[in-house]
């Protein structure tokens, strides 16, 4: 018989249905599968609830749960396809994106350099090229080295053409194209090297990296090599005068008229989401850039991707208007030979241009800063619990005046959806 307290607890418990799978990270998060019925005991915050599943208790992301049974009938599109694979792989089935990537010399030459500088060590190695697209990396392997086999895995319809390109270039003895998602295909053997070009805007957008980690855990032999081997997200406070003038200052006096009542609209429309494909000029950087998140591709776990946190502390080097932060990434490819040369692909303003360009996060209002001021804070990349290729980037910052400008101290925070 339940005690009054237990009755009371049951009364406060509410049953919810999981709309999507969730892999918890750490000991206090509860993993579950789509369709599981969870008992929610408490809602300490709007994002994380305290729930129970088959006697196990832990934190669950509230966004994953829906209460109304009716929700099951009107399937929310995100439940059907939280990875939006139909649209995602549909896009990669056309040439537009492949042309953009192949036209990116910094990107493509970096992968070619990796193969070239490891060509001797690649002899007799088994390679998996995850998300091979047109197969360029696999063709580099077959052309510049003597691997025993390259498994070129591609989920989109481009794979049919990739097979033709492999044959057209006389590489079909070495390269085998497998059409399918890396998560679903079967290889006849484990591989020595897992190479992939998985990086998205702000490094993680698209979350293709999850597929790479799953393939690592399933197909890379112990002691095998991950290319890239590591990745880092870099941040810098910046001025963005021309972007600000174009989107915000414009409304001050267009054709001699005062359109400033539209500025709150402009802020909402143009500064709510990050501006990807921004090109930051090195002189727009207000401080030395700082790596805020570093990924080790050998130890990174899928659960780690739910929330990635980084800290920063910038010393402002010149008096300017602080419009926002700019982010970019760098990936490194370790040598197959111990101590061999590392190849780096840096998508920042001091390296060759790439199709990723950089990502600009505009503050709601610019702030004047002086040389000697400090800008400290944190960046949090929160993976979208429903749309699994998306995330929200939250920046918290505090500006502290330098000794000769002590009263300029202010704090701010802003969340930027990428893109839902
Ligand atoms: N750097 C990126 N942001 N995107 C560039 C690589 C993306 C290529 O990998 C393919 N691709 C992406 N995910 C997968 C997957 N899980 N399995 C197979 N192919 C994939 C996709 O169809 C495309 O051809």
Residue, of 253 and 74, whose pLDDT is higher: 253
pLDDT in tens, 91-110: 999 999 999 999 999 999 99
- For residue 48, which phi and psi values (nearest 5 degrees)? -120, 130
Query: Dmax over Cα atoms in the chain, in whole Å?
Result: 79
Q: Which of 30-34, 214-218, 401-405 has the lowest mean pLDDT?
A: 401-405
Q: Is the pLDDT of residue 304 over 80?
A: yes
Residue nearest atom 8 in ligand 1 by C-alpha distance:
131
Residues in the chain: 420
pLDDT for res 3: 43
Q: Is the pLDDT of residue 73 over 70?
A: no
pLDDT in tens, 124-165: 999 999 999 999 999 999 999 999 999 999 999 999 999 999
pLDDT for res 230: 98
How far is 413 from 197, CA to CA, in rounded Å? Answer: 32
**Is 206 a residue of the active site?**
yes
Strand 220-227 relative to strand 191-196, pairing: parallel
Residue, of 406 and 24, whose pLDDT is higher: 24
Q: Is the pLDDT of residue 406 over 80?
A: no
Which two structure tokens, joined as six digits, stand for 357?
């360009």
Determine the Cα angle at 154 with ends 151 and 160, to 5°.
Answer: 100
Task: Provide the H-helix boundaries in 202-297.
Answer: 208-219, 241-247, 263-271
How far is 268 from 265, CA to CA, in rounded Å? Answer: 5
- Mean pLDDT score, 332-343: 96
Which two structure tokens, joined as six digits, stand for 11?
């009364």
How far is the centre of ligand 1, averaged over its atoms, from the C-alpha of 48 (Å)? 31
Q: Which atom of ligand 1 is nearest to the CA of 180?
A: 18
pLDDT in tens, 31-66: 888 888 999 998 888 788 999 998 888 999 888 888
From residue 95, alpha-carbon distances to 90, 98, 140 in Å are 11, 5, 19
ipTM, 2 decimals? 0.99
Q: Is the pLDDT of residue 317 over 90?
A: yes
Residue, of 302 and 19, whose pLDDT is higher: 302
Q: Which of 44-53, 220-229, 240-249, 400-409 has the lowest mean pLDDT?
A: 400-409
- Mean pLDDT score, 309-315: 98
**Is 72 a residue of the active site?**
no
Mean of all residue pLDDT scores within the chain: 92
- Mean pLDDT score, 106-123: 98
Q: Is the pLDDT of residue 27 over 90?
A: no
CA dihedral 267, 269, 272, 273 (to 10 degrees): -140
Q: Is the pLDDT of residue 70 over 50?
A: no
How far is 177 from 336, CA to CA, in rounded Å? Answer: 24
How far is 210 from 257, CA to CA, in rounded Å? Answer: 51
Which two structure tokens, joined as six digits, stand for 244?
């600000």
- Mean pLDDT score, 174-197: 98
The one catalytic residue among 75, 173, 197, 344: 197
- Mean pLDDT score, 351-365: 97
Quickly state the pLDDT bin for 79 (edges 50, 70, 90): low
User: Which residues does a 6 A CB cutoff place in the pocket of ligand 1?
Assistant: 89, 92, 101, 131, 133, 153-156, 158, 181-183, 197-200, 206, 208, 211
Q: Which of 198, 208, 215, 329 to mutate to test the pocket of ligand 1 (most atoms within 8 A of CB)?
A: 208
- Mean pLDDT score, 341-357: 98
pLDDT for res 45: 81
Quickly state the pLDDT bin for 252 (edges 50, 70, 90): very high
- Specify whether the CB–CB gap between 136 and 109 falls below 8 A: no
How far is the centre of ligand 1, averaged over its atoms, from the C-alpha of 94 (Å)? 13
Quickly state the pLDDT bin for 408 (edges 50, 70, 90): low
The one catalytic residue among 6, 72, 206, 210: 206
């Amino acid at each position: 018989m339940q005690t009054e307290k237990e009755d009371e607890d049951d009364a406060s418990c509410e049953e919810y249905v999981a709309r999507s799978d969730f892999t918890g990270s750490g000991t206090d998060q509860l993993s579950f599968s789509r369709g599981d019925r969870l008992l929610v005991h408490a809602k300490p915050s709007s994002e994380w609830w305290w729930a129970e599943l088959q006697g196990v208790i832990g934190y669950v992301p509230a966004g994953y749960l829906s209460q109304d049974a009716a929700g099951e009938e009107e399937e929310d599109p995100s439940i059907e396809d939280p990875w939006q694979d139909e649209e995602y792989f549909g896009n990669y089935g056309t040439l537009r994106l492949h042309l953009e990537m192949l036209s990116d010399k910094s990107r493509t030459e970096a992968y070619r350099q990796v193969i070239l500088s490891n060509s001797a060590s690649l002899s007799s190695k088994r390679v998996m090229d995850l998300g091979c697209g047109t197969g360029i990396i696999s063709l580099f392997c077959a052309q510049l080295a003597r691997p025993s086999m390259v498994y070129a895995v591609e989920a989109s319809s481009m794979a049919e053409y990739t097979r033709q390109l492999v044959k057209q270039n006389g590489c079909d003895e070495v390269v085998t194209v497998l059409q399918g998602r890396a998560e679903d295909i079967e290889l006849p053997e484990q591989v020595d090297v897992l190479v992939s070009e998985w990086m998205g805007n702000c490094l993680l957008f698209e979350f293709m990296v999850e597929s790479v980690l799953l393939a690592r855990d399933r197909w890379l032999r112990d002691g095998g090599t991950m290319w890239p081997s590591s990745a880092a997200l870099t941040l810098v406070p910046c001025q963005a005068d021309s972007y600000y003038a174009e989107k915000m200052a414009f409304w001050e006096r267009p054709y001699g008229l005062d359109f400033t009542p539209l500025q709150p609209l402009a802020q909402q429309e143009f500064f709510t989401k990050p501006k990807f494909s921004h090109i930051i000029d090195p002189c727009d950087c207000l401080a030395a850039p700082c790596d805020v998140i570093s990924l080790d591709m050998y130890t990174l776990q899928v659960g780690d991707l739910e929330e990635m946190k980084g800290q920063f502390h910038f010393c402002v080097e010149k008096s300017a208007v602080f419009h926002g932060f700019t982010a970019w990434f760098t990936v490194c490819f370790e040598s197959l030979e111990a101590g061999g040369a590392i190849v780096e692909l840096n998508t920042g303003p001091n390296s060759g241009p790439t199709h990723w360009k950089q990502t600009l996060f505009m503050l709601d209002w610019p702030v004047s800063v002086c040389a000697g001021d400090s800008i400290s804070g944190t960046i949090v990349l929160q993976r979208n619990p429903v749309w699994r290729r998306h995330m929200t980037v939250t920046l918290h910052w505090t500006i502290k005046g330098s000794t000769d400008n002590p009263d300029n101290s202010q704090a701010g925070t802003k969340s930027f959806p990428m893109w839902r």
